[in-house]
Amino acid sequence: MCTKTIKAYGTKSAESDLEQLKINRRSVTAKDVEIDILFCGVCHSDLHFARNDWGMTQYPVVPGHEIVGRVTQVGSGAAKYKVGDLVAVGCLVDSCRTCNNCKDDLEQYCPQWVGTYGGYDKHLDSPTHGGYSETIVVDEDFVLSVPKNLDQAGIAPVLCAGITTWSPLRHWNVGKGSKVAVVGLGGLGHMALKLANALGADVTLFSRSPNKVQDGLDLGAHQVIISTDEAQMESVMNHFDLIIDTVPYAHDLNPYIGTLSTNGTLVVVGYLGPLDPMLVTVPMIMGRRAVAGSLIGGIAETQELLDFCGKHNITSDIEIIKMQDINVAYERMLKSDVHYRFVIDMKSLKK
C-alpha cells in the first residue's frame, strides 16, 4: 500500500530520550480521514510506554493519544467529516466491530482493540504510531467531532485524561449529591475534579501534596484531604460513594477503602500491576465495598464527553510546550510538577 513519510517524535529504546524520527502513514483508504495534527496532550501513559514500564513496548514507539487536528483528506467512502473540520482522536483507532463489547459501545474492552500507538495497523502490517507527529490517518468511525466554542489545545486532554475519569463517573451513576473522591492531582485527577463537579457531585481531592490544596479547590473540589495526615483521613471514614484513584505507581489502597460508604466503590484507573501492600478484605466484607478498574472509554462515550465539555465550557488546565521539550516534560511529570497537563503545539515539529 502507498505510504507518506512524515516527521514524528519517539524513542528507539526504554533508556533513550525521545528524538525526531521519520515514520510512514498509510494513504487514505475508503473509510479513512487524514488529520493535520494541531495539538497533542502528554499523558503519563506515554511515559510508561516510552520507558516500557508495562513490558509490552515495541520500538520505535511514537506516543500521543490526545490528538486535536484538522481534516485534510477524506476517503471515497467516508461521509462523517469534510476537509477543514476540527476533529479529535483519542486512545483507540480501531476494533473488531462485531463482538459484544463493540456492539455495546465498549470498544475499549474489545479483545482486538487497536491503540493509537503500540497497536497493530492492519493496512500497513506494522505498529500504529501516535500523535507526536505531523499527521495521522484514522478510520472515520474512530474520529471525534470537537465543539467549536472550546480552546483547541485545552480540549486535547479530554481525549484521554477526561474520558478515563468520565467513564467511571457515568458507569457508577454519579450525579447531584453523589459523594466522589479523586486520588492524585495530575492530568487525570484535575479532569476528574472538573467533571464530577459539573455533574453536581460533592467532590473531595486526596493528595500527597499540601502545595496543591488551593489548586484542588479552584479546580472543583469542595474539600482537600492530605492523604498522609491521619486525622484528616479519619474525618472522611465511611463517606464516599465512589473514589477514582489516578496514582500511576504501586501504593497502599487500604487507607482509602475505609473512607467508602456501604456499597461504595474504589475504581483504580492509574496503576496497572500487582498491589503492594495487598488489599485487606475486612473493610470490603464489612461494608460490601468494592475495588474495581476501568479503561478509558468507548467512542460514543467520548463524543458524549466532548459535547458535555462544549456545553459546560470545560477544558483542561494546560501548559503548552514545544515538541523538542518533551524529555524535560517527562521528567517534570515524574516529579508531579504538571499544572495540570502538558500539551504539545505541533507547529513546533513542522518547522
Q: Would you tell me which residues interact with ligand NAP (CB under 6 A)?
A: 43-45, 48, 160-161, 164, 184-189, 207-209, 212, 246-249, 251, 269-271, 294-296, 333, 336, 338
d(CA 39, CA 131): 8
Give residues 1-60 in contact with Zn ion (rule: CB under 5 A): 43, 45
Stretch that binds Zn ion, among 8-16, 71-79, 90-98, 214-222 (CB under 5 A): 90-98
Q: Which residues contact 270 (CB under 8 A, 6 or more apart)?
A: 44, 183, 184, 188, 245, 246, 247, 248
Shortest CB 290 distance to ligand NAP, Å: 17
* Residue 48 interacting partner from ligand NAP, Zn ion, none (CB closer than 5 to 8 Å by kind): ligand NAP
Q: Which residues contact 231 (CB under 8 A, 6 or more apart)?
A: none
Record the cell numbers describing residue 87, joined without a space.
476533529
Shortest CB 15 distance to Zn ion, Å: 22
In this structure, what DSSP letter does residue 133 have? B
**Residue 178 or 207 having the CB closest to ligand NAP:** 207
d(CA 199, CA 168): 13
Shortest CB 185 distance to ligand NAP, Å: 4
* Residue 102 interacting partner from Zn ion, ligand NAP, none (CB closer than 5 to 8 Å by kind): Zn ion
Angle at 113 between CA 138 and CA 93, to 5 degrees: 15
Query: Of these, 8, 28, 160, 346, which contacts Zn ion (CB under 5 A)?
Result: 160
Record the cell numbers describing residue 257, joined without a space.
477503602
Binding flag, residue 207, Zn ion (CB under 5 A): no
Q: Which of 131, 201, 132 is closest to 173 using CA atoms? A: 201
- End-to-end Cα, the chain, rounded Å: 28
**Residue 88 or 185 having the CB closest to ligand NAP:** 185
Give residues 97-136 in contact with Zn ion (rule: CB under 5 A): 99, 102, 110
Closest residue to ligand NAP: CB criterion = 186
Q: Which of 313, 300, 259 is closest to 283 using CA atoms? A: 259
Shortest CB 193 distance to ligand NAP, Å: 11
**Residue 176 or 335 having the CB closest to ligand NAP:** 335
CA dihedral 101, 201, 149, 155 (to 10 degrees): -60
Shortest CB 109 distance to ligand NAP, Å: 11
Q: Which residue has the cell 486520588?
A: 183
Q: Which residues contact Zn ion by CB under 5 A?
A: 43, 45, 95-96, 99, 102, 110, 160
